[in-house]
Amino acid sequence: MAFHVEYLKLNLSKKSIVPMHSSIKKLLIVDDSKVSRMLIRTHILARRPEWMIFETACGEDAIKFVDNELPDYCTMDINMPGISGTDAAERILSKYPSIKIVVFSANIQEVHQNRARSLGSILVAKPVTEKSIALALNYFTDSE
């Protein structure tokens, strides 16, 4: 799958600089479904219009993106082409433990919930709705 990163709100070609403690946060959406990315982006921007939203369609691209842009938050699908979302999350968090990742998936079996928890993340059940987005936002901003 082609490397797909969509830059919204700002046309960025280099690492974007956001002042520390700024309300402008960077969120990376990782999902192979364009529709799912659209849904998450729309719901997030409705509540946090100042945030910068980025997208990738697979775990490998997400890892590359994080190396370049270091987002504050990330939503991660599990079932995607290439490595699984939970494997991608593990690799990202081992390198950048400050990033908060919400695993967004329809696959809500206990084994996946436990895996997300063991990574220091949470699993939020799809479909993407106002309610599921509220859970993700609470997790992102709770301890800040």
Partner 1 sequence: MSDLSELHIDALTEIFSIGAGRAALSLSEIVGDEVHISVPSVLVINSEEIDSTTLALNGGRFGAVTQHFCGPFNAEAVLLFTEDQALKIVGDMMGSQMSIEEIAEFEHEAMCELGNIILNACLSAMADILHFTLESSLPNYRIASADEVLCRLKENADQPYVMILHIDLSIENRHTAGSLVFLLSSSSLANLVVHIDQFLGSIS
The site for partner 1 (CB under 8 A) is made up of 33-36, 38-39, 42, 79, 105-111, 126-127
| Residue whose CB is less far from partner 1, 129 or 138 | 129
**What residues contact 6, with CB distance under 8 A and at least 6 apart?**
53, 54, 55
Residue 40 CB, nearest approach to partner 1 (Å)? 10
Question: Of 68 and 129, which has the nearer Cβ to partner 1?
Answer: 129
CB of 28 or CB of 39, closer to partner 1? 39
Residue 60 host element (H or E): helix 59-69
CB of 61 to partner 1, least distance (A): 17
Q: What is the CA radius of gyration of the chain?
A: 14
In the three-class reduction of DSSP (H, G, I as helix; E, B as strand; rest coil), residue 44 is classed as: helix
Shortest Cβ distance from residue 7 to partner 1 (Å)?
A: 18
Instruction: Please report, for residues 30, 112, 134, 138, 139, the alpha-carbon distance to residue 142 in angstroms, rounded to integers and kept in the order given.
Output: 22, 22, 11, 5, 5
Residue 104 main-chain phi, psi, to 5 deg? -105, 110
**How near is the Cβ of 78 to partner 1 at its closest, in Å?**
9
Report the nearest approach of partner 1 to the CB of residue 75 (Å). 14
Q: What CA–CA distance (Å, rounded) separates 26 from 101?
A: 12
* Nearest residue (CB) to partner 1, 38 versus 122: 38
Cβ distance to partner 1 smaller for residue 91 or 112: 112
